[in-house]
Amino acid sequence: MVPLSFIKMHGCGNDYVFIDCFTQPVPADPGKLSQTVSNRHCSVGSDGLVLMLPPAVADADATMRMFNADGSEGSLCGNALRCFAMWLHQSGRCGTDFCIEMAGRRIRCEVVQSDVADRSAIIRTAFGKPGELAPNRATAARLSPFAIPLELPDVSVEGQCGGTLHVSMGNPHTVFFVESLSEVSFDTLGPRIEHHVKFPHRTNVEFVEVTGENDCRVRVWERGSAETMACGSGACAVAVAGLSAGRFRPGKPISVQMSGGLLTISLDEDWNVSLQGPAAECCRGTLPPSAFTKQAENTLSDANSPN
């Protein structure tokens, strides 16, 4: 085993360890490596691991794979995509308009601003229409988030959160509109809803407080990574749910304030979704061979168990 170079980048505080697989071999077990590097006490510390790969299909400029802090592989990550897009542009591999493939999906990326010296950028990503929202639903209904009644013993979900809307951005999101984020039992509800029996593949959870005509504050519990400071696909899901439920005004951008920063979501008349926000590099380093050994592995449950 040889040392593996990495770059740590974040989008609104949603941080990942990125591996340049254009010039380095793909790690043999990226899921286990993600568990190791995500540990904030014994390793680099992150919300997961991202492999930056050469294109696997003719109509894309690069391929991205993302692994959550628990080692599971994700199907979409808007914040990590912006970071990868910044790196592709600033490393000279791409111009200002290009395509990244992730989990079979082609995502158009546009570099709005780029500061090479500061290693930061503003990136816009186009995700297209929301995905299928439920099995066997008619295509005409695919843009309408559907309600899922949830029951949790000893916890009043509806009392705290009102109605529930489920949205797919290619990955699952369960969105709650609340009167006040401060009154939500976030640490209790987040993990229990993620693992609810009605979501056999688990779900991301967003709690939303509307603060203006097209402004809101969001707290997110991310599938496989617990609470994160931001979630790009979650911000898009909030916008889709809010417009469908009449909580936001159509035809204007939606400002989603997350713990780590501001994301801006736009939807056109055909419900194509685009996300704009910052990306920044934190640091660079090298993972020693010990990072790949069993003795160095630290699971998410070990690193982030409740105190």
Active site positions, annotated? 77, 231
Cα separation, 270 vs 306, whole angstroms: 43
Tokens coding 303: 């690193």
Cα separation, 31 vs 73, whole angstroms: 7
Cα-flanking dihedrals φ and ψ of residue 301, to 5°? -65, -35
Strand partners, 297: none
